[in-house]
């Protein structure tokens, strides 16, 4: 069975710059083995030393995440499309401070005014309040 496998940009140097390749197999595991035979080094980028998919590699079969199916045992059929998508780390969450920029709503205010404290400062305040409660 031949399936189309979409290759992410960071891995295309292993597939001779092809963004889509074909592989044969009955399961995702078979497809990975087929890809490794055609493009040596690809499996080690997708799987860890135990042969499990790496945490930061997401594999989709026809737009469905295989982790919610049968994982690497997920069956494939002729004409299916597999997408390999590396997880991307980084970015910024709402309210996260970017160097030199205060989160929305607190620009121009000092930390003491908006109740934000560093970990050490918060710990000192908590200890002081615990000490005063214990002495009462």
At 16-27, the pLDDT tens digits run 999 999 999 999
Q: Map out the domains of the chain as residue ranges.
A: 2-86
Q: Tell the CATH topology of 2-86.
A: Ubiquitin-like (UB roll) (3.10.20)
| Cβ 81 vs Cβ 62: under 8 Å | yes
User: Does 93 score more than 90 pLDDT?
Assistant: no
Query: Percent of the chain beyond pLDDT 70?
Result: 64
Quick one: tokens of 57? 């590699």
User: Does 59 score more than 90 pLDDT?
Assistant: yes
The pTM score is 0.64
For 39, list phi and psi in degrees, rounded to 5: -135, 80
| Cβ 85 vs Cβ 79: under 8 Å | no
């Amino acid at each position: 069975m031949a399936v189309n496998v979409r290759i992410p940009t960071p891995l295309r140097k292993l597939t001779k710059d092809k963004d889509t390749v074909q592989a044969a197999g009955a399961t995702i595991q078979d497809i990975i083995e087929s890809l490794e035979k055609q493009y040596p080094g690809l499996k080690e980028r997708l799987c860890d030393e135990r042969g499990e998919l790496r945490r930061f590699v997401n594999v989709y079969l026809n737009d469905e995440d295989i982790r919610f199916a049968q994982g690497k045992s997920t069956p494939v059929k002729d004409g299916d499309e597999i997408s390999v998508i590396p997880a991307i780390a980084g970015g910024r969450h709402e309210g996260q401070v970017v160097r030199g920029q205060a989160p929305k709503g607190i620009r121009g205010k000092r930390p003491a005014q908006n109740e934000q404290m560093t970990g050490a400062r918060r710990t000192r305040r908590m200890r002081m309040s615990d000490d005063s409660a214990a002495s009462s």
